[in-house]
Amino acid sequence: MSQDRPLSFEFFPTKTDAGHEKLMGVARQLAAYKPDFFSCTYGAGGSTRDRTLNTVLQLENEVNVPAAPHLSCVGDSKQDLRGLLDQYKAAGIKRIVALRGDLPSGMGMSSGELRHANDLVAFIRAETGDHFHIEVAAYPEMHPQARNFEDDLVNFARKANAGASSAITQYFFNADSYFYFVERVQKLGVNIPIVPGIMPITNYSKLARFSDACGAEIPRWVRKQLEAYGDDVKSIQAFGEEVITQMCERLLQGGAPGLHFYTLNQAEPSLAVWNNLKLSS
């Protein structure tokens, strides 16, 4: 299988200098595989705003891979968002991941002038025209706060119609959920590329907590096998690598336009899957 579709990697900004240096080392290691871009997350209510900005600029300028900052609207004023967009534009950033964002505890939903991701997409387009390639989030297994699946599909279509260029999904472990989601939104007239988000399996307890919080279903057979390994880290990682590789093969064979890896600031788990897929660098 040749790399005829783009791959990308996501990082989160670190809290310490040592963590940041480790992150930059991981980024340089992944850069050798010529990814399409690196994305960098943005904490609840913009809590990592400065760290996200600094990380993105360093990725863009020193690692020489296009960087895509996450930008959320909850908790930020239009003036704050406008200032960030101006900084990114001046720095030559060409891609943004536009999200509603999570609320810090104690912050009401009314915080910020823009309430929804489609509002943010429309705002970015109004402020910057076609300068940015705008990514939005997709939820093949439904956003955990959505009232129902039909509403969630309509919400996604609203983001696409507001001016999104493409989408990255929440991670999942069932390829059918991805294909069904794409089929359903296409029936709503949405034809932007929807790239599967891929979470390598390396630690079962952490994965279970993440998945319960974000609504990503771990299939029962995968859960039971991971539970059976207990504290056998090598077996967990080997099994996880096999499961994710097989899913990625099916996604690419089924027409997925690329893969976006949630690295958790580690290189090896994502590269193991990449190399198993025999994707050229």
Catalytic option among 10, 60, 135, 141:
10
pTM for the full model? Answer: 0.92
Cβ(173)–Cβ(208) below 8 Å: no
pLDDT of residue 234: 96
Q: What percent of the chain has pLDDT over 90?
A: 76
Mean pLDDT score, 250-261:
96
Backbone angles phi, psi at 201, to 5 degrees: -100, 115
The per-residue pLDDT for 180 is 97
pLDDT band at 209 (very low <50, low <70, confident <90, very high): very high
- pLDDT band at residue 76, thresholds of 50, 70 and 90? confident
CB 139 within 8 A of CB 169: yes
- Stretch 53-62: mean pLDDT, rounded? 89
pLDDT one-digit tens code per residue, 152-195? 999 999 999 999 999 999 999 999 999 999 999 999 999 999 99
Q: What pLDDT is recorded for position 1? A: 38
Mean pLDDT across the stretch 55-66?
Answer: 91
Q: Could you give the C-alpha distances from 80 to 12, 86, 100, 139, 153, in angstroms and in order?
A: 21, 10, 15, 27, 29
User: CA-CA distances (angstroms) from residue 198 to 42, 51, 76, 162, 251?
Assistant: 19, 24, 29, 26, 11
User: How would you class 79 by CB atoms within 10 Å of its CB: exposed for 0-12, middle for 13-18, buried for 19 or more?
Assistant: exposed
pLDDT digits (tens, 9 = 90+) for 261-271: 999 999 999 99
* Of 2-16, 103-117, 141-155, highest mean pLDDT: 141-155
The residue among 165 and 215 whose pLDDT is bigger is 165
From 21, 30, 98, select the one nearest 66 (Cα to Cα).
30
Residue 213 has pLDDT above 50, yes or no: yes
- Is 10 an active-site residue? yes
Q: What is the pLDDT of residue 109?
A: 52
The predicted pLDDT at position 105 comes to 52
Identify the pLDDT of residue 98: 96
What is the rounded (10 degree) CA torsion for 99, 105, 111, 115? Answer: 30
Whether the predicted pLDDT of 206 surpasses 80 = yes
Q: Please compute the mean of the pLDDT values over residues 133-139 and round it to a whole number.
A: 97
Burial class (CB in 10 A: 0-12, 13-18, 19+), 203: middle
pLDDT digits (tens, 9 = 90+) for 9-50: 999 998 888 999 999 999 999 999 999 999 999 864 444 567
Return the CATH architecture of domain 7-277: Alpha-Beta Barrel (3.20)
Q: Is residue 100 predicted with pLDDT exceeding 50?
A: yes
| Per-residue model confidence (pLDDT) at position 2 | 41
